[in-house]
Chains A and B, each alone.
Chain A
Amino acid sequence: MNRQILKSSHFAVERGTIVRIKTLSPHEKLFEIALPGNARLNHDPGQFVGVSVFGVGEAPISVCSSPTKRDTFDLCIRDVGRVTHAIHALKEGGSLGIRGPFGRGFPVRLLEGNDLVLIAGGLGIVPLRSLVQYVINNRRDFGKVSILLGCRTPDEMLFGDEIEQWNKRIDVHFACTVDRAAPEWHGHVGVITTLIPGEMLVPERTFAVIVGPPVMYKYVIGELLKKQIPDRQIIVSLERHMKCGLGRCGHCQIENLYCCQDGPVFHYDEIKHIKEAI
């Protein structure tokens, strides 16, 4: 058997350095990563990378910072299993394997000039954060911007400090809701659909972006359609099991689509006839 080094292999991995770690909650940590020579990752908001701990494995993780931040990028990781647990055990200055970016991100060019309703449920805030940051950094290029967040309880809300900043801005409409809360919570309680703006919404020029757990899509999309938003302008990011990011291993397949290459971001009109999608 001959073994040859394959420089062009799409399985090749770069070594990223952990510049900073911030604990966001008992289960989530934010990792700021630098590539060798502070090279740019060059991603679109909504794309993901393969993150490796050698000897344990690789997991697909959304890049949760905007490409407008150049020298480093952020990954927010929930500790759920083998690889994510090993990542959580790493320290600042430690290293991670990075492969990618992969997939089709949010269509930022199409969104320009339009009103945006950005909706995140639970961990959906993680991939959406890259888009929110991008929009805020290029705020002039977009119309009205609403950010709607939902999660189970107030202490599950990630990026609290940052969200507080969004809330204070005069150029974004911000609202959040929780399923249940202690009496001292002053925000909304109830399902996220109640936050979708009503009369101020101009359907022809509104793009809605939804990222959340699988159960959330059906009823949020239903609500947006009721408000006459065209299905092309409803954008979702879907999560599937992924092993390669290359459209081959088959794990992420949604009927004839490969979530890792054709998505993870889809326009609703592309998937509404696909029964396995949502």
Chain B
Amino acid sequence: MAYAVLQKGRFDDFIVALAAQRKVMAPVSKGYGHFEFEEVRSATEIALRYIPTILPPKKYFMPQRETILQYTSDSIEAVVDFDPMAIFGVHTCDLAGIQCLNMVFSERPKDYNYLVRKNNIIIIGLECGDYCDQYASCAMMNSEMPNGGYDLFVTEFDEYLLFHVSTQTGEDIVKSTGLFETADASHKSRLAEYRKKKKSIFKKELPIDSKDIALLFDKCFESKVWDELNDRCLACGNCNNVCPTCYCFDVIDEPALDLTSGVRYRRWDSCQLETFARVAGGANFRENRGARQRHRYYRKFSYPVKKFFRYFCTGCGRCSRACMANIRLKDVLMDLIKAHPLDNA
């Protein structure tokens, strides 16, 4: 395990040095308790203590809108747009979200648009020592601790930042900036202490074992909980848009003014919208909002378990923060737990 120490007094030098190599994206305060990942040039712009950004770093891997094809009257070319960058300050829940997307897009048939961008992004994680707010359920989803998926990972202490160097790319950054000291036993024991304290703070948020959530979902497809959501959900799609593991998209053509050339792009779509599953002839396979809400929950806690052997919820809490109808993921899960007790519980 390689660790490196950056004195806080050198943090700004580090960001400036990194920004000289490539674009640096980091959490920035937008006021009213909101944060967003944006390009930064110095450390002063960065919010080291932040709650999950409105949009997850997914937006750099799978942009809200991206060109996938360009055509003229005599050529059609599939294309990818990318920007080499480093994302600084990715929380552990969002690292888990990126790991989910990596699985989805590297499965065959591979999505080269995603993979080209992924290969041009350096990831620097950032540890949370305490809960972001009451909406987070990262402990239940096992994403409160770093679990790979980064080049460098930062834990903040009063006087310094401790970097875990996980990849050669991370090591090259540490070396090239020349700002780091090597970590010694005292740094590592401080980290161990920090993690011990953290474990006493982060407790599974609901009375269910993580592994049992999939069993719960085996039982609750016909639950009345979905009927109740049917009456409350506004079908706005906010919950999809802010989720780090939602990846549905729409594909749209945009002709240029000459009408013979143009582009085809994909953009984020939402399974909560009424038209999402409607086909020609008018049949709609998830006509009511309850069925669509159920679909969203099953896409987090059931279907991906069958396909990827992991949950596609990181517990980041974004969907709960973004819902105008006050639908809270933890409450929905709690209602399901109460309505469908597991036999062994």
Q: A55-B253, A243-B250 are in contact. Are A9 and B279 (CB under 8 A)?
A: no
The answer to whether B76 and A54 have CB atoms under 8 Å apart is yes
Residue of B with least CB distance to A214: B283
For residue A173, CB closer than 8 A to chain B, the reply is no
Distance between A170 CB and nearest chain B CB, rounded to angstroms:
36
A80 on the B face (CB < 8 A): yes
**How many angstroms from the CA of A243 to the CA of B298 in the assembled complex?**
21
Given that A240-B285, A241-B278 are known contacts, is A4 also in contact with B80, CB under 8 Å in the complex?
A: yes
Whether a CB of chain B sits under 8 angstroms from the CB of A231 is no
Contact of A248 among B83, B104, B280 (CB under 8 A): B104
Contact with B along A38-57 (1 / 0, CB 8 A): 00000000000000101111
Provide the bound-state CA to CA distance between A54 and B298, in Å: 35
Are A9 and B68 within 8 A (Cβ)?
Answer: yes
CB pair B251–A1 under 8 Å, yes or no, is no
Q: How far is the CA of A38 from the CA of B298 in the complex (A)?
A: 45
Q: Interface size class for chain B?
A: 35 or more
Q: Is A11 an interface residue (CB 8 A)?
A: yes
A6-B112, A11-B264 known; A248+B77 contact, CB < 8 A: no
Contact B249 A249 (CB under 8 A): yes
Q: Give the CA-CA distance A186 to B82 in the complex, in Å.
A: 64
Contacting pair B253 A5 (CB below 8 A): no
Interface size on A, residues (CB 8 A): 45
**Among A4, A14, A78: residue with most chain B CB under 10 A:** A4
User: Contacts of A253 on B, CB cut-off 8 Å?
Assistant: 271, 277, 295, 299, 303
CB-based contact B262/A54 at 8 Å:
yes
A187 adjacent to chain B (CB < 8 Å): no
Chain B residues contacting A214 (CB-CB under 8 Å) are 281, 283
- Report yes or no: B269 in contact with A249, Cβ–Cβ below 8 A: yes
A165 at the binding interface (Cβ < 8 Å): no
Of residues 4 through 38 on chain A, the ones whose CB sits less than 8 Å from some CB of chain B are 4-15
- For A57, the chain B residues whose CB sits under 8 A away are 251-253
User: When chains A and B are docked, how far (Å) is the Cα of A6 from the Cα of B286?
Assistant: 35
- A residues at B contact (CB < 8 Å): 1-15, 52, 54-58, 78, 80-81, 84, 97, 213-214, 239-241, 243-244, 246-251, 253-256, 275-276
Q: Apart from A55-B255, A253-B271, what are 6 other A-B pairs with CB-CB below 8 Å?
A: A2-B84, A6-B113, A11-B264, A54-B71, A253-B277, A253-B295
A-B contact pairs, 17 of them (CB 8 A): A3-B79, A5-B77, A6-B113, A8-B112, A9-B68, A9-B78, A10-B111, A11-B113, A12-B69, A57-B252, A80-B280, A80-B281, A241-B279, A246-B109, A249-B251, A250-B248, A251-B276
